[in-house]
Homo-oligomer: A and B are copies of this chain.
Amino acid sequence: MIIVNTGNGKGKTTAAIGQVVRALGHNFKVCIIQLFKSDIFYGEQGILKNLDGLDFFSFAKEHPYFNHGISLDTVLKQCLEALDKIREILKGNKKYDLIVLEEFNIALRDQFIDINIFLKLLKELSYNSKIIVTGRGAPQQLIEIADLVTEMKEIKHPYNIGSKSQKGIEY
């Protein structure tokens, strides 16, 4: 089963985290492969790393949009390492009930990951695991093969926090 959380609103990542907590509560084995998020920034990471049954991998911790100093080649290489992690899971003995591919939509949109290579790996992964792919701008080809797609749509957003993200809410 392939699930996609996309859209311009809040809740794509937090809904995936909620699914992880829900799945762990049933003693499922869960894996998160995360792109474009620094390790120490996000509140959830401190909690998640202490939960039994969860393997957490993080690649390409910075996106060039936010850090102009990072080269596209570096990010490309790091995203390929994330794909290698998926291949390692496919070949390995450890089976996950749920795998979250966090912000992979962004890597697809920005062509750090090739959509055809990704879709092939995704289909293979989905034989043994439920998969959640998050990030705004999910490509149409992904939506087509997905089983469940939710758009988190911004209806109202406060102007006063537009430029400054809030601890405990946005990170």
- Which residues of A are in contact with B by a Cβ distance under 8 Å? 1, 3, 5-7, 9-19, 21-26, 28, 42-48, 51, 97-98, 130, 143, 146-158, 161, 166-169, 171
Contacts of A28 in B (CB 8 A): 43, 168
Copies of this chain present: 2
| Distance in angstroms between the alpha carbons of A161 and B3 in the assembled complex | 13
| Distance in angstroms between the alpha carbons of A154 and B4 in the assembled complex | 11
Contacts of A22 in B (CB 8 A): 14, 17, 42-44, 168-169, 171
CB closest chain-B residue, reference A168: B23
Distance between A12 CB and nearest chain B CB, rounded to angstroms: 8
- Verify B9–A14 contact, CB threshold 8 A: no
Contacts of A167 in B (CB 8 A): 26
- Verify A17–B7 contact, CB threshold 8 A: no
Contacts of A151 in B (CB 8 A): 9, 152-153, 155
A sample of 6 more A-B contacts (CB under 8 A), given A1-B169, A22-B42, is A7-B153, A14-B15, A15-B18, A24-B43, A151-B153, A151-B155
| Distance in angstroms between the alpha carbons of A167 and B19 in the assembled complex | 11
